[in-house]
Amino acid sequence: MLWLVGAGINGYKGLSLHAVDVLKKCDIVFVERFTSALADSDIAGINAAIGKEVRPVQRWFVEDGREILDAAKEKQVALVTYGDPLIATTHTELRARAAKASIKTAVLHAASGIASIMGECGLHMYKFGRTVTMMSEPKSALSVYNIVFDNLLAGNHTLILTEYSHDEKTGRPFFLDPSTVLKMLLDTEKDVRYHIISEETFVIVASRLGADDQRIAAGKVKSLAGVGFGDGPHSVIIPGSMHFTEEEALEALTVCLDSPADNAAQARRVSAQMVERYAPKAREAIQQMRGILRKEGESKGMHEVLDNAEYYIDDAERFLGQGKHELAVLSIGYAEGLVDALRFQKGINPWNP
């Protein structure tokens, strides 16, 4: 039998009473040390708590998994992991392989880093959209930016996990710095221009969650520029619309440098940006066209076409207000088509009158 046992986020003392009972009865206890969150003193702590020597293993050993599964065919085997055991996909895969090999499995859940970060910031967990990880390679920034945009459009918060790895040679941990994460998002904003990230954006940086020197700083991007965040791991949260209890909790529970602000209010759908930009231009074009028709004389039905164009611009703005974004864009496009049909016929360059 294979037990997947979470150690939580506070060293070995995050093990539950149930976990200790189970580990005492197990024949072999592997402890995964990938994230280095379980220190030597934690290994000693587990040994003392369960009255036997555990076997620290690396992530590759768990990914390979054969020795663990072989042992679990005959014996009671446990794998102790940082956080909750089923957040890392490696562990779910190992569990599925065990099940396929008819090895019984059980999971002892524990505090997960992701859920804990969401709670520690004072934000409501159910208001988080998709979580994403920022890697140091530049092209990572666009997908993170797009997920932040999608989440903001829905008013949702985004948890951005950051790259965390080990130098293969020195074994020293590498943490992507939150300042770099924010700079990558600002740079992407310059290219993509959805107007969601600026020096005024309100963000939260959670550092060293679960450690004694855990710290959560919040404020505008420009206010956080001078802050040294120290060692990792770090996470960056871009909040969307906040309930007033979330704002109060942020101010009470974090190092909060500015008043919390609603980032989602500025996130405008591409459709809304289009209608707002094109509606006045289309109205102006209609006026110009009417002037030309008055001067040059009109062909049959042309004023009727312009009347219809005006109706459809009104429709576009009404649909936008009703949240019918696609119909709003369709209507403004239609109105522009009506106007430009006359312009083509009149031989005017429609895009540079």
Give whole-number Cα distances, 311 to 306, 314, 318, in Å.
Answer: 9, 5, 11
Cβ nearer to a second copy, comparing 57 with 111:
111
Q: Which residues of 230-264 are buried (b: 16+ CB within 10 A; e: fewer)?
A: eebbbbbbbbbbbeeebbebbeeebebeeebbebb
Which one among 81, 116, 188, 235 touches a second copy, defined by CB under 8 A? 116
Which one among 312, 313, 319, 320 touches a second copy, defined by CB under 8 A? 312
Beta bridge partners of 107: 4
Specify the stretch interacting with a second copy by CB under 8 A; choose among 31-39, 100-108, 189-197, 288-296.
100-108
Peptide bond into 85 cis (omega under 30): no
Counting Cβ atoms within 10 Å, is residue 104 exposed (0-12), middle (13-18) or buried (19+)?
A: exposed
Which one among 139, 326, 349, 351 touches a second copy, defined by CB under 8 A? 326
The 63-92 contact track toward a second copy, x by CB under 8 A, reads ---------------------xxxx-x--x
Cβ nearer to a second copy, comparing 224 with 328:
328
Specify the stretch interacting with a second copy by CB under 8 A; choose among 36-44, 65-73, 183-191, 343-351.
343-351
217 close to 204: Cβ distance less than 8 angstroms: yes
Closest separation in Å from C-beta 163 to a second copy: 14
Which one among 29, 197, 309, 320 touches a second copy, defined by CB under 8 A? 309
Q: Which two tokens stand for residue 65?
A: 């998994």
Closest separation in Å from C-beta 15 to a second copy: 6
Cβ nearer to a second copy, comparing 66 with 126:
126
Query: Phi first, then psi: what are they for 200, rounded to 5°?
Result: -90, -10
268-307: which residues touch a second copy (CB under 8 A)?
269-271, 274, 299-302, 304-305
14-53: which residues touch a second copy (CB under 8 A)?
14-18, 20-21, 49
Q: Compute the distance between CA of residue 204 and CA of residue 128 in angstroms, rounded to an integer.
A: 14
Closest separation in Å from C-beta 51 to a second copy: 14
Give whole-number Cα distances, 26 to 55, 105, 110, in Å.
Answer: 12, 13, 19
Tally Cβ neighbours within 10 Å of residue 166.
15
239-268: which residues touch a second copy (CB under 8 A)?
245, 248-249, 252-253
Cβ nearer to a second copy, comparing 221 with 289:
289
Q: Which residue has the tokens 């520029």?
A: 225
Which one among 65, 178, 210, 233 touches a second copy, defined by CB under 8 A? 210
Which one among 69, 132, 257, 261 touches a second copy, defined by CB under 8 A? 132
Q: Compute the distance between CA of residue 271 and CA of residue 345 in angstroms, rounded to an integer.
A: 29
199 close to 177: Cβ distance less than 8 angstroms: no
170-209: which residues touch a second copy (CB under 8 A)?
none
Q: Compute the distance between CA of residue 340 and CA of residue 267 in angstroms, rounded to an integer.
A: 31
